[in-house]
Structure formats: C-alpha cells, structure tokens
Amino acid sequence: MHTEVANRIRKPTIMNRGSLGPNLKLTVPAPDQVFLTESATFREGDLLVNKYGVRIISQNEVEALPPIKAKDNQLSLEDIVAIKVVGKGSGGIVQLVQHKYTNQFFALKVIQVAIDEPMRKQIAQELKINQSAQCPYVVVCYQSFYLNNVISIVLEYMDGGSLEDFLKKVKSIPEAYLAAICKQVLKGLTYLHHEKHIIHRDLKPSNLLINHRGEVKITDFGVSAIMESTSGQANTFIGTRIYMSPERINGFQRGYNYKCDIWSLGLILLECATGRFPYTPPDQGERWENVFQLIEAVVESPPPSAPPDQFSPEFCSFVSACLWKNPKNRWSAQELLRHPFINMYEDLDVDLSAYFSNAGSPLATL
C-alpha cells in the first residue's frame, strides 16, 4: 500500500492550475451584502468565492462567465476525495485529497468562515495572494471554493512536509544543503517583495514546504500584506512573534517593510544550522517563562550570530546580513542572492532531492 501510494505521488502533474477568471459564473451581491449572500457567495471587497471557484471583479461587473465543469479540466470540490488530515491550526485544517479522475494528490486547506470582519478580510487577502502569485518557489494554489460556510483552498501537495518537520528528523542541516535551501527561499522572497510587493509576515520553518524533487516553497499567506510599492510600509502586529523582527515588536506604530521577512529568514537559518532556536533562555536548559520575555530579548539583546568556530566565515557573514537590528542595514533578498554563501557550494553535487528523501517523508505513510 505504501509503495503504491508513493509511486502515485511521484506521477508528473497533469492537472492544470485552475483558470481563475474567464470561466466562472458568480453573481455579484448587492453592495450591502458583503459577507454571505442568497446566492451562497462569499464577498469581501472585490473578491467573490462560491462553489464554482474564486473571482476578482471590477466595480461595474454584474455577472461573470459560465461555471467550471469537470470536462473543462478544472477542479471541482465534487471531484476530490479526502484521504487524511495532515495539518491543524487555529484557522482550520489541511487535508491530503486526491482527484477522482487523474489520481493527482492535492492539499486542501479548509477554513471555517467567521462572522467578524477582520477574519473575513484576512481570508480575502490570502485568497487574492494565492490567485495572483505564480512562482516556482511559492506553493501553487489551483482553486478556491466557498460552500456551506467553509472556504476550501486547493493547493499543491508537498510530500516532504515542512522544513520544521524535516528539522525534527535530522536535528541540524549542514551548510551545503542550507545554501541550496536558502537560495530557493530567497528567489521566492525576491518574487514576493519586488514583483508582487507582498510582505509575508509569518515566515517560519512550518511555512516552508519541501518535496521529494528537492524543491522548497513558501506557503501560507494568511497574515501577509500587499504594499503599494517595494518601499511600502505596514503597521499591523500579526504573525508568529518568536520569528518577528525587532522593528515589528518595538516600533510597529512607525511601520515596517519587507525586510522583516529577512530577519525571520536569518533566525530560520540559525535554527536549522544549530538545531535550536537562536534565542536561549537566561538559564541554560530552562524554557522561556512566557513569549513576552522572549520578545523583550529580541528587542533589547544583541542579535544572535553563528558561532565562528563551528561555521564558515561566509555563513556567519550571511546570517549577520539578515539579522541587523536596524532594517536599513539589513540586506534585501536580491542582495542576499549575490552573497558568497549562496553560491560557495555550487561546485559540489548538492542533491536536495536525495537529502530530503533519505530522511523519510513525514507524510509518506498514508
């Protein structure tokens, strides 16, 4: 059974990414019907989602085009079968699902829609980013649906799980593999920051997914922000606090920009290299008393660094470039792609595919 499933997972992708515009029939609700309408459509601003899919509408648009059908080679909720739950969070669950007709696997993120406006806006933002982001280093979103008060997001299935899962297995990651992993993450961040003007705001090991092909992709845009430009500022205090940059913790009223993601990347790299989170409690071996004690350390203490007696000068320099407390001094994703650390191991045959596969996929035993 396990071998059969593993072989099916490795089949080439044959399902096209959902067509997110021209072939959906979504009736536009009246302006005062901003949440749940008689047509079973979720609306938030210019975003519409129903059982046929998702659509961004113009101000004067009244009706879209015909609905998705199975014969159009598009996804439908009726055509996928749930296999098992592979992830849980405060916002919902993630299921491994399979398409009935192609046997292709997907990850289905299921979110129970809340009535409160902030949650609706957060869901709408995630759906918009999923729809617009098309990059080899960002997890593919094939389609999204709204039915029975539930948002269902059909995502690319990454069969290696998250970098967090992987780190639990291997305990620490050698520099050569870290450089290859980081290069892919930086390409994803370059796309998000400089092409789409998106700040992820929740970059952490559990939001970096891997697969047996050696690919590393960014996922989960539930708390991301879309800026007007690359130099845009945000000022919302959301995201996972332990990976949050000092300027977000200490001075978010003055705003922050995409370089807060670079700080998070620096902490992730150090954690992967050493096998432990970079900020250690005052009493070695003890736990932080609470998250506020930890974030006080992030703000007040010098930034963490890679031990020079354990790592190469290039790696130490790279981490320091990510962890400047002043974001003006912190390098951008584009600049970091040119850092010597990223390319110093290219002469070696660094095979991420074999490295990930040999550790064993946390989701392979279905």
For residues 141 and 17, what is the distance between their CA atoms, to the nearest angstrom?
Answer: 7
Arithmetic mean of pLDDT, 57-74 = 47
Question: CA geometry: angle at 138 spanning 134 and 141, to 5°?
Answer: 65
d(CA 23, CA 27) in angstroms, rounded, equals: 13
As annotated, the residues of the chain forming the CATH 1.10.510.10 domain(s) are 163-359
Strand, coil or helix: what is 19?
A: coil
Tokens of 282: 């005052």
Considering only residues 50 and 24, tell me which one the structure prediction assigns the higher pLDDT: 50
The pLDDT value recorded for residue 205 is 96
Residue 109 marked as a ligand binder: yes
* Token couple for 2: 């396990």
- Identify any residues that bridge with 151 across adjacent strands, giving them in sequence order: 111, 146
Domain 163-359 superfamily per CATH? Transferase(Phosphotransferase) domain 1 (1.10.510.10)
Judged against a pLDDT cut of 50, whether residue 187 lies above it is answered with yes
Structure tokens at 33: 């019907």
DSSP annotation of 98:
E
Phi, psi of 183 (to 5 degrees): -60, -40
Question: Residues 32, 116, 159, 202: which is the catalytic one?
Answer: 202
CA distance 56 to 308: 51
The answer to whether residue 158 scores a pLDDT higher than 90 is yes
Which spans in 275-306 are helix H? 291-300
- Model confidence at 252, pLDDT cuts 50, 70, 90, reads low
Between 38 and 55, where is the model more confident? 55
Q: How confident is the model at residue 255 (pLDDT cuts 50, 70, 90)?
A: low
- pLDDT tens sequence across 272-321: 999 999 988 877 666 777 778 888 889 889 999 999 999 999 999 999 99
Let me know: does 94 contact 59? Beta carbons within 8 Å. Answer: no
Specify whether 202 is catalytic.
yes
Residues of the chain with CATH 3.30.200.20: 2-156
Class of residue 259 by CB neighbours under 10 A (exposed 0-12, middle 13-18, buried 19+): buried
Distances (CA, A) of 76 to 47, 133, 175, 219: 19, 21, 43, 22
Residue-wise pLDDT for 320-337, tens only, equals 999 999 999 999 999 999
Give the residue, 117 or 335, on which the prediction is more confident: 335
Helices and strands, number each (H, E), in the chain = 11, 12
- Percent of the chain residues topping a pLDDT of 70: 75
The backbone torsions φ and ψ at residue 95, rounded to the nearest 5 degrees and listed phi first, read -110, 145
Q: What is the mean pLDDT of residues 201-215?
A: 95
* Range ranked top by mean pLDDT from 23-32, 67-76, 111-120: 111-120
What is the Cα–Cα distance from 219 to 170, expressed in whole angstroms?
22
Return the SS3 of 144.
Answer: strand
pTM: 0.81
**Alpha-carbon distances of 278 from 80, 204, 216, 268, 294, rounded to whole Å:** 42, 13, 22, 9, 11
Is the predicted pLDDT of residue 68 greater than 90, yes or no? no
Task: Name the CATH topology of 2-156.
Answer: Phosphorylase Kinase; domain 1 (3.30.200)
What is the Cα Rg of the chain in Å? 21
